[in-house]
């Protein structure tokens, strides 16, 4: 059912790898997905991917500033050793697990995501790739018209890059990360089910009072199957390949069944149903319109 749609989505969906080195030298990465929206290089992804990138950048900048300030103090011949120690001790402190270096790999080398913007509450964000060549992608998405037969029961498929891990290596000689041999290309993995229901995001303040509604609706769609790690930011498509949403998170619903665990006297197992959440086209279009991003809408 989704064979042609998956082939189409593969033309406008790409992985993003966020690499990080800690102060003590440990390297790790997070993998997500993004959809390239148009020939101008605009992309859309899960908001938490852009938020994580922003946090990494801020940590990286703080650490670099610390190293620069410390080096300036240590190389200052006009002050004595005791004063140097005092000034160094006054600099910001870092923990072993704090970010020392970071980078983002947007599907190819030498590309950055600029003009980043996201909505925390809806977990959706956009950015623009720079540099960008339209020929890098074989297709561009068509988003489902939410005013036409946008109802639960539709067959949907989430596309992304789960079940893959990358441990980057930091090369001090060139001050950059290297992805290990065999890390690329990152294999995709689709999952399918049905569109179950929609959710309206209501904004409240710290006292639980309703806040004024935003400029455009903040909505999610829910699927009968979970979104997997590595699919965050990937498209939720129908059999024609139109995008019904952008995968953002998964919610676990308790089923109320507590069967005994075999071989463990008195132990029970809590069972859950994991359902995926994607950002609704109404919210996606609102964000696009706010920043002047061109996009295509389905005829159905």
Q: Is pLDDT of 228 > 80?
A: yes
pLDDT tens by residue, 44-67: 999 999 999 999 999 999 999 999
Distance of CA 162 to the CA centre of its chain: 12
pLDDT tens by residue, 178-226: 999 999 999 999 999 999 999 999 888 888 888 887 889 999 999 999 9
What span, in angstroms and rounded, lies between the C-alpha atoms of 171 and 43?
Answer: 29
What span, in angstroms and rounded, lies between the C-alpha atoms of 237 and 264?
Answer: 43
What percentage of the chain reaches a pLDDT higher than 90? 90
Q: Tally the domains of the chain.
A: 1
Q: What are phi and psi of 205, to 5 degrees?
A: -90, -175
Q: Which helix (H) or strand (E) holds 130?
A: strand 124-130
Task: Give residue 153's pLDDT.
Answer: 97
Question: What is the value of pTM for the model shown?
Answer: 0.92
Average pLDDT, integer, range 12-24: 97
The CATH code of the domain that includes 224 is 2.40.10.120
Q: 244 is in which domain, residue-wise?
A: 3-297
* Helix runs in the chain, H state only: 3-9, 47-74, 81-89, 281-291
Helices 47-74 and 81-89, axial angle in degrees (round to 10):
170
């Amino acid at each position: 059912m989704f064979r042609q749609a998956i082939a189409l989505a593969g033309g406008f969906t790409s992985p993003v790898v966020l690499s990080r080195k800690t102060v003590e030298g440990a390297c790790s990465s997070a993998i997500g997905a993004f959809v390239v929206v148009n020939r101008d290089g605009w992309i859309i992804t899960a908001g938490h991917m852009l938020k994580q990138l922003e946090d990494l950048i801020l940590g990286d900048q703080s650490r670099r500033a610390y190293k620069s300030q410390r080096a300036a103090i240590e190389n200052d011949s006009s002050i004595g050793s005791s004063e140097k120690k005092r000034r160094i001790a006054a600099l910001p402190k870092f923990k072993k697990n704090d970010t020392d270096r970071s980078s983002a790999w947007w599907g190819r080398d030498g590309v950055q995501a600029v003009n980043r913007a996201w909505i925390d509450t809806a977990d959706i964000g956009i950015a623009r790739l720079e540099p960008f060549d339209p020929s890098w992608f074989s297709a561009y998405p068509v988003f489902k018209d939410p005013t036409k037969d946008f109802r639960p029961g539709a067959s949907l498929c989430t596309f992304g890059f789960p079940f893959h891990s990358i441990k980057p290596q930091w090369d001090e000689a060139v001050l950059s990360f290297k992805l290990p041999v065999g890390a690329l290309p990152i294999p995709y993995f689709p999952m399918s089910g049905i569109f179950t229901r929609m959710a309206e995001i209501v904004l409240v303040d710290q006292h639980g009072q309703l806040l004024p509604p935003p400029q455009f609706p903040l909505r999610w769609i829910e699927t009968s199957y979970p979104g997997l790690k590595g699919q965050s930011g990937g498209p939720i498509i129908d059999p024609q390949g139109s995008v019904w949403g952008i995968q953002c998170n998964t919610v676990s619903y308790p089923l109320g069944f507590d069967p005994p665990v075999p071989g463990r006297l008195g132990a029970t197992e809590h069972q859950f149903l994991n359902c995926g959440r994607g950002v609704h086209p109404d919210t996606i279009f609102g964000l696009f319109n706010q920043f002047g991003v061109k996009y295509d809408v389905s005829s159905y």
